Amino acid sequence: MAAVERPFVEIDQVSMRYGGAEGTLALRNATLSVARGEFVAVVGPSGCGKSTLMKLVSGLWPSSAGSVIVGGQEVDRPLPMVGMAFQNPTLLPWRTILANVMLPLEVVEPHRRRLRAERAAYEAKARQLLAMVGLAGFEGKYPYQLSGGMQQRASLCRALIHDPQLLMLDEPFGALDIFTREDLWAQLQEVCLTLKPTVILVTHDLKEAVYLADRVLVMSSRPGRILAERRVPFPARAGWMTPTPPSSRPWCTSCATTSTPPARGRRPTMPHDAGPQGEGAPAPPRGDAPAPRRGDANARRVEAMAAAARRRRRLQGLLPWLIILGTFLLWEAAVHGFAIDAFILPAPSAIAASMVQWWQPLLENARQTLMTTLVGFGRPSSSAWRWGWRSAPPPCSTTGSTRC
């Protein structure tokens, strides 16, 4: 009988309370398991503890009760095997896209130790990931020069650069428009099918969960717990050509009735839905939505930060010379102000004038001093070496004698 493989992620009767014994109970007796290589989506109303669940699995927070096991080990600290992508890209504005993607390599071991020696290989890997999500040629750009969807793609590459065994996605597409979101669904699907990580996705969008996940877990309102589990009954993700086929809509509705997420306004129209032109109307073209107008303000702020950094670097380079110059000026002022005799403390200007006047004798004296030093050390050193070599005992015999 074949042994049953242990789940990669195991959460058993986990509870989490913020703020001590009288604080907010975010999770209560939550239990779930995720197999290695599986894609699981967690849906539920706002504030039900989905993000708390992510923090517990990744080791960012300890649980108040229950056990969290990842990869066969109890989670008691942040896990280097985890990659995370958040709702906002959270890219550092002063770093290029390539440098942002490579940021985890500067933190996570063993990549941190290898980065200096293997930087070329790591940069090639980062460029390959960026090309996989359609960002080839944007490695040298800054975040403000990219649209929101392109920034989110870079954030996904950053989460994957250190080869995480577990990929945690906390509503990474929630802030994007529907067309960009569906485009990123397809690209995330392609990346997961290529790299095959274990993925836990937190989302409010049931269509997103159905399109991407193998299994959907439905959470209750706070304190959160797992109410239902639904395995996606549709063909493998690789065979889907359009997000959310019509046959999946009743199934999404059944998940929604299990846990009713708060309304987010009018449901956005999907490209395959019937529009004003009828059922067979062509789908609008997909692509990244342009960045909002506040991107101009962000660009100005980043340029101001870069200019301030350049000024600081120039000042740091000039600071030692300014200190030396100030010291000489104070020295000169003290000698003249207190009428100090030149025999006791000559002024810097007098020293400089003497050096200009006597530079040839000084240079000759320096040469003679150097030659005397070399000859004085060289003769005794050579004599000592010759004497030591002659007086050294002969080497041990190699004929089998045990004594020298």
306 shares its domain with 168: no
**Same domain as 134, residue 69:** yes
Given this model, what pLDDT does residue 291 score?
46
pLDDT at site 255: 54
Nearest to 48, CA basis, from 220, 172, 263: 220
The DSSP 8-state label assigned to residue 393 in this structure reads: P
Residue 404 lies in a domain: no
Q: What is the pLDDT of residue 401?
A: 47
Q: Are residues 33 and 158 part of one domain?
A: yes
SS3 assignment, position 170: strand
Do 94 and 25 fall within a single domain? Answer: yes
Q: What is the per-residue pLDDT for 162?
A: 87
Q: What is the pLDDT along the chain (404 residues), one digit of tens a residue?
A: 456 678 888 888 888 888 877 788 888 888 888 888 888 999 988 888 888 888 888 888 888 888 888 888 888 888 888 888 887 888 999 999 999 999 999 888 888 888 888 889 999 999 988 988 888 889 999 999 998 888 988 988 898 888 888 888 888 887 677 787 788 888 788 888 888 888 999 888 888 888 888 889 998 888 888 888 888 887 655 444 444 444 444 545 555 555 544 443 434 444 444 443 344 444 444 444 444 444 556 667 777 777 887 888 888 888 888 899 999 899 889 888 888 887 788 888 888 887 777 778 878 888 888 888 888 888 788 877 777 766 666 655 444 444 44
Rounded distance between C-alpha atoms, residue 30 and residue 227, angstroms: 9
Q: What is residue 249's predicted lDDT score, i.e. its pLDDT?
A: 47
Helix (H, G, I), strand (E, B) or coil at 53: helix
Residue 321 is part of which domain span?
297-368
Same domain, 196 and 302: no
pLDDT tens for 294-321 read: 455 666 777 777 788 788 888 888 888 8
- Whether residues 235 and 362 share a domain: the answer is no
Number of domains the chain contains = 2
Please write down the HEC assignment for all residues of 58-74: HCCCCCCEEEEEECCEE
- What is the pTM (predicted TM-score) of this model? 0.57
- 168: its two tokens: 């945690």
Considering the domain architecture, whether residues 318 and 246 belong to the same structural domain is answered as no
pLDDT at 290: 47
CA distance to 14, 133, 289, per residue, from 157 (Å): 31, 8, 19
Do residues 240 and 334 share a domain? Answer: no
Q: Is the separation of the CB atoms in 245 and 48 below 8 Å?
A: no
Residue 278 lies in a domain: no
Looking at residue 232, its amino acid is V
The amino acid at 14: V
Whether 239 and 306 map to the same domain: the answer is no
pLDDT digits 0-9 by tens, 92-143: 999 999 999 999 998 888 888 888 888 899 999 999 889 888 888 899 999 9
> CA-to-CA distance for 145 and 188, rounded, in angstroms?
22
